[in-house]
Amino acid sequence: MLTLSETTHALIEEDLSTKCTIRSTSKHDISILTDDKVNKPGDDSQDFISYINIGSSLGPLTHTNSFNDITNEIDCPTKVISTELSTLSTLLQTKGILLTKVTRSKHKLYLFKLNQNNSKILWRSDTKSICLDAIKDIRVGKMASNYMEEYHVPFTNRWITILYIMNKKLKIFHAIAKTDDQFQLFYQCICNVVKLRKELMESMSLPDHAKFATIHWNNMVSEKKEDQLKDTLTFEQVKRLCDRFHIYCSVTHLRRIFDKADINHNQLLNFREFQEFVKLLKTRREITTIWNEIAKGDNSISIYQFGKFIYTIQGETQLDSLKIKHIFDNYSENNEMNEDLFTRFLNEQPYLIEIVNSMDYSKPLNHYFIASSHNTYLLGKQYAEKPSVEGYVQVLQQGCRCVEIDIWDGETGPVVCHGILTASIPLLNVVKIIKKYAFIVSPYPLIISLEIHCNKENQKVTSQIMKDTLGTLIYNDSDKNGMKNLPSPSDLKHRILIKVKKPKAIPVTSTAFKNITDGHSKIYSSSSIYEYTSFSFSSSNDSEFESTTDSLSRDKHSDDTSTLKLIPNVTTNSMTRMKRIGLKKRAEITNSIFEISNIHGLKFRNFSLPESKTLTHCFSLNEKKFESLFKDSNQKLSMDKHNRRFLMRIYPHTLRYNSTNFNPIKFWKAGVQMVATNWQTNDIGQQINLAMFQLAYQKSNLTHSGYVLKPESLLQTVSKIKDIPKIYKSIGSRLPKSYNINLKVISGQLLPRIKKDQKNGNNFGPYIAVEFLTDDLPNILSNPLSVVKNGTASSLTSSYSIVKEGNGFNPVWDMELNIQLKQLDFTFIRFVVKTNEIPLATSCVKLDYLKRGYRHIPLYNMSSERYIFSTIFIYSRIDPIR
């Protein structure tokens, strides 16, 4: 039995019953003590939020969507927050709370506390900790039920799972509280401290300088009104405050602002001078310039001036007068908008056009690009990495609509792994987690690509697991024989499609497979193909020509142990798995698996064979095979023709063992629907991939439906390949000859900073690099990139700005550039903020998704996680040239 000391339990019960209001909500089974009151600039009321000690490591924070949902549940008055949160924080700091920490090997009771500055969760006599800023997600209730099942724990609402990063690795923490009240104490305190840190950072990014100054004056000096006239704050105290909030400015820059605010020049600031310091620090000179052009010297603008700005500068010509009035009313007082309110308006406007609301999801499935993952179960390299269900959680939360499962024989049933060089996880766990997260972001169909390497018995078990777990979610295509086209994403909402190789495929020709051994060629039928299960680098090898050929380059009679000696990092455990699995015949798909499938993988041989005309088939090619075919003009056109009617999947080549990614643009331009990338690697290829499927949605700012309708030039079906050039020519004749793009990269806000530069503030000099990314540059580029001011062109399509020494809080680069392109369909812009050649943050945007005019674009860390407040401020305009 779990017990608390009588003293601790009584204290918690007393405080919870007398000071805390605990409610239940349907979405997360608990309430969050937060505030959704929106205060306008200039409101000096001090009930915004009361300060508690929030730690020395505040800064740009990154969290997953579900955690942001938790911290944004808002329904409590602000004055209640400070009292309750202070109570909860004090309890966890001084008394702590006993929780049972759950691992696979044991359940053990520990005392958990918050450290004194509320930045870490501590346990095991303070030797173990979780940094609050490292928390990626918190899951409770039904959202954590899969973990309870995995650890064989009966469902309980007192379970809490925390996902966090340590040493660049994703870690998972599980614990159970004894009582509901203890659960509430721990959970509400953690969520609300993070919420408070977020609100305080937001107060720095928005123009509420008076409130920010009030909060910190009351904390550092006094809440008494009579003390506001005292000259109290030193430069060192102000600098420590800036360091706490990751306001990255050099000492010289801060000293200059401090001296300007120090009106009586005594090196101490009173309350009014401190307010002036904060105001000077937060001044957006670049927005003041825009404001002056609109206001013409006045202190406010009218709805007419605002509407003119919206139409002519922001390019929002689709908005009618009523919508403009609604926007104006939200950012004005007494029918007037001042500069602070205008700044808030610019901060909060979406930067992507709202495609989701207008996109047509009623066309056949093959008319869409589909967000697809390669070897989804891996979180790192393609070998010597442990598989994890978290791979599925992460990609599904980002809107991925095609995941991959490699199924092998385990000791007790089918398992998911990458051959013998990785550990395995039970297939049942993977299928359960897929079911749980399948439609958490997108309602549109999820495709599960099964790679079958297991025997017939385990295939039967696999089929039963799919049926029992997914049930009616599996699409029943009983009418497929009468279909002339594939169903649409709208038809398939909340349905799962299973892709698997078709059994007993058309026999292989005598020249299809060769095994080169000792200089002699040997011909094998498909039934005599053997593979080492140790090498499963290439996915979809059951449906692709080249990967099968590669597997045959190893002699089927070679000694398995000697082969393993050539593979780095093979451990004793790997040898054990090899001994368990051994050499095996290539798995032949049974009817038990085929009967639950809807998409049928076929080995590519030729686009003209009857098998390539079946409605439900899908060719899977690795990138090298695709490029080989693409070099032949007839094959290129045949592929284009095929993909207008049928499905194709492209995946990374075997040699990408570090899980790097290709540029997906060339595959999309060929009409390939499922371009599978390694989502665990946030390189340029994956950034482009995420940008393709990053669509705006009015309700949630960003969403990821996982489906993007192909451009018009790739939709029309043809009977002969000679008709394809005519389609491109006809559509091209209606479009402008080219587009002139004017881009201004104006400034950055709340930039992150690398740790090794933190001790030397003067050595921090951020600049920004901009690159236009596309494919087939000679046929796309009309005029190369030219820099108008404050930057240098580094290539035909890229440039970098001037360096702003010592200022990472609000550097103004004011770089302007022009470039002229013939097409926009597959053009992306990538921004990378750097210092000393080291990337700090990045953002990649599809050019025709980007709203025109002045926009704040969010920045992401190098692992693709969004910084909550770090942004860049840009201006863009596109002028067609006919």
Closest CA to 696 of 359, 318, 307, 316: 359
The pLDDT value recorded for residue 259 is: 95
Distance of CA 551 to the CA centre of its chain: 34
Rounded CA-CA distance 163/152 in Å is 19
Q: In this structure, which amino acid lies at residue 15?
A: D
Q: In this structure, which amino acid lies at residue 235?
A: F
450 contacts: CB under 8 Å, gap ≥ 6: 405, 407, 462, 498, 499, 500, 593, 597
Check: CB of residue 70 under 8 Å from CB of residue 191. Answer: yes
Q: What is the pLDDT of residues 777-790, one digit of tens each?
A: 888 999 999 999 99
The pLDDT value recorded for residue 398 is: 86
Q: What is the pLDDT of residues 578-634, one digit of tens each?
A: 433 443 456 788 999 999 999 999 888 889 888 889 999 999 999 999 999 999 999
- Of residues 870 and 219, which shows the higher confidence score? 870
The pLDDT value recorded for residue 58 is: 42
- Kind of pairing, strands 647-651 and 520-523? unpaired
- Per annotation, catalytic residue among 374, 453, 653, 704: 374
Q: Which fold has domain 735-881?
A: Immunoglobulin-like (2.60.40)
pLDDT at 710 over 50: yes
- Per annotation, catalytic residue among 9, 367, 418, 653: 418
Mean pLDDT (whole number) for 684-689: 96
Mean pLDDT (whole number) for 8-14: 37
Rounded CA-CA distance 575/582 in Å is 10
Check: CB of residue 448 under 8 Å from CB of residue 431. Answer: no
Give the three-class secondary structure for 867. strand
Write the DSSP symbol of residue 603. -
Highest mean pLDDT among 189-203, 813-827, 853-867: 813-827
Asked which of 83-92, 359-368, 759-768 is least confident by mean pLDDT, the reply is: 759-768
pLDDT at 302 over 90: yes
Instruction: Indicate the helix (H) or strand (E) that contains 372.
Output: strand 368-373
Q: What is the pLDDT of residues 539-565, one digit of tens each?
A: 444 434 433 333 333 333 333 333 333
- Of residues 740 and 104, which shows the higher confidence score? 740
Mean pLDDT (whole number) for 305-322: 94
At the top level of CATH, the class of 294-351 is mainly alpha
pLDDT band at residue 484 under the 50/70/90 scheme? confident
Give the three-class secondary structure for 222. coil
pLDDT at 867 over 70: yes
pLDDT at 211 over 80: no
Residues in the chain: 882
In the annotation, is 494 catalytic? no
Asked which of 12-21, 146-155, 192-201, 704-713 is least confident by mean pLDDT, the reply is: 12-21
Mean pLDDT (whole number) for 344-350: 91
Asked which of 373-387, 513-527, 628-642 is least confident by mean pLDDT, the reply is: 513-527
Asked which of 436-440, 569-573, 830-834 is least confident by mean pLDDT, the reply is: 569-573
Q: What is the CATH number of domain 6-202?
A: 2.30.29.30
Q: Where are the extended beta strands (E) located within 612-737?
A: 617-622, 647-651, 674-677, 695-697, 701-703, 707-709
Sequence ranges of the domains in the chain: 6-202, 209-282, 294-351, 365-503+591-714, 735-881
What are the structure tokens assigned to 591, written together?
């009817």
**Which residues on adjacent β-strands are paired with residue 515?**
522
What are the structure tokens assigned to 534, written together?
């140790």
Alpha carbon distances (Å) from 493 to 66, 89, 152, 707: 22, 44, 32, 12
pLDDT at 5 over 80: no
Write the DSSP symbol of residue 537. -
Computed over every residue of the chain, the mean pLDDT equals 79
What are the structure tokens assigned to 404, written together?
């991959």
Q: What is the pLDDT of residues 793-823, one digit of tens each?
A: 999 999 999 999 888 889 999 999 999 999 9
The pLDDT value recorded for residue 16 is: 36
- Number of Cβ atoms within 10 Å of the Cβ of 408: 25
The pLDDT value recorded for residue 506 is: 34
DSSP string, 722-737: GGHHHHHHHHHHHS-S
Mean pLDDT (whole number) for 519-544: 34
The pLDDT value recorded for residue 232 is: 84
- Of residues 311 and 147, which shows the higher confidence score? 311
Mean pLDDT (whole number) for 152-164: 91
pLDDT at 858 over 70: yes
- Of residues 41 and 467, which shows the higher confidence score? 467
The pLDDT value recorded for residue 567 is: 34
- Of residues 126 and 200, which shows the higher confidence score? 126
Mean pLDDT (whole number) for 197-213: 64
Mean pLDDT (whole number) for 92-98: 91
Same fold, 6-202 and 365-503+591-714: no
pLDDT at 512 over 70: no
Write the DSSP symbol of residue 159. E
Residue 682, CB half-sphere, CA atoms under 13 Å: how many?
18
pLDDT band at residue 844 under the 50/70/90 scheme? very high
Sign of CA dihedral 347, 350, 352, 353: negative
User: pLDDT exceeding 70 applies to what percent of the chain?
Assistant: 74
Rounded CA-CA distance 773/864 in Å is 18
Rounded CA-CA distance 243/701 in Å is 31
Q: Looking up tokens 């890229």, which residue turns up?
A: 798
Closest CA to 645 of 563, 762, 724, 734: 724
Rounded CA-CA distance 542/618 in Å is 12
Write the DSSP symbol of residue 233. B
The pLDDT value recorded for residue 584 is: 47
In the annotation, is 653 catalytic? no
Rounded CA-CA distance 671/328 in Å is 43
**Which residues on adjacent β-strands are paired with residue 414?**
409
The pLDDT value recorded for residue 117 is: 78
The pLDDT value recorded for residue 134 is: 80
pLDDT at 675 over 50: yes
Q: What is the pLDDT of residues 368-427, one digit of tens each?
A: 999 999 999 888 877 767 888 989 988 998 889 999 999 999 989 999 998 766 689 999
The pLDDT value recorded for residue 383 is: 72
Q: CA Rg, the chain, in Å? A: 30
* Structural domain 365-503+591-714, CATH architecture: Alpha-Beta Barrel (3.20)
- Of residues 124 and 358, which shows the higher confidence score? 124
Q: What is the pLDDT of residues 744-771, one digit of tens each?
A: 999 999 898 766 554 444 477 899 999 9
Closest CA to 801 of 832, 776, 843: 832
Which CATH superfamily, name and number, covers 209-282?
EF-hand (1.10.238.10)
